[in-house]
Amino acid sequence: MQSMLDLQMNTISGCAVVRVIGAVDGDADANTIAEAMRFVPIDDHLVVDLRQVERISPTAVHALTTALVHRLMAAETVVVSDRADVTLHLVLADADRLAPLVATVEQALQVIRSRSGADLSTVAADLIDPLGEVA
């Protein structure tokens, strides 16, 4: 059975959003996501929205974390995941140590605004723990 992966790219509140939809199973899917992240200008803030990812392979998580390392050198990047299994894979790969991992795009935008110089007092409450529960 062929896996189906779809990407949507848009801008919300001045931040680029890459929304990943479907199963992220292997090298080809992982490379597609990494290429989409590289397509966004390096100095633009980025939200990687994984809320509609059905499953993610360790290969894809590795490619995502590698792409995060490159992005974070120049601009804020936040990963959005509200599925416990996807979030667990990200945490096991230490992706949450590279970029904030939150449950909604709105929280991601708030983190980016806060880290870009706005009020930092509400950021901690928006981050999710490894079990997907709001801190």
Note the pLDDT tens digit of each residue in 78-101: 999 999 999 999 999 999 999 999
The whole-number pLDDT of residue 135 equals 40
Contacts of 104 (CB under 8 A, 6+ apart): 51, 80, 82
Is residue 102 within 8 A of residue 133, CB to CB? The reply is no
The whole-number pLDDT of residue 124 equals 39
Token pair recorded at residue 128: 């999710």
The whole-number pLDDT of residue 130 equals 44
Q: Which residue has the tokens 């709105």?
A: 106
Is residue 53 within 8 A of residue 83, CB to CB? The reply is yes
The whole-number pLDDT of residue 70 equals 85
The whole-number pLDDT of residue 99 equals 94
Which CATH class name applies to 5-126?
alpha beta
Residues of the chain with confidence (pLDDT) below 70: 1-3, 117-135
Model pTM? 0.81
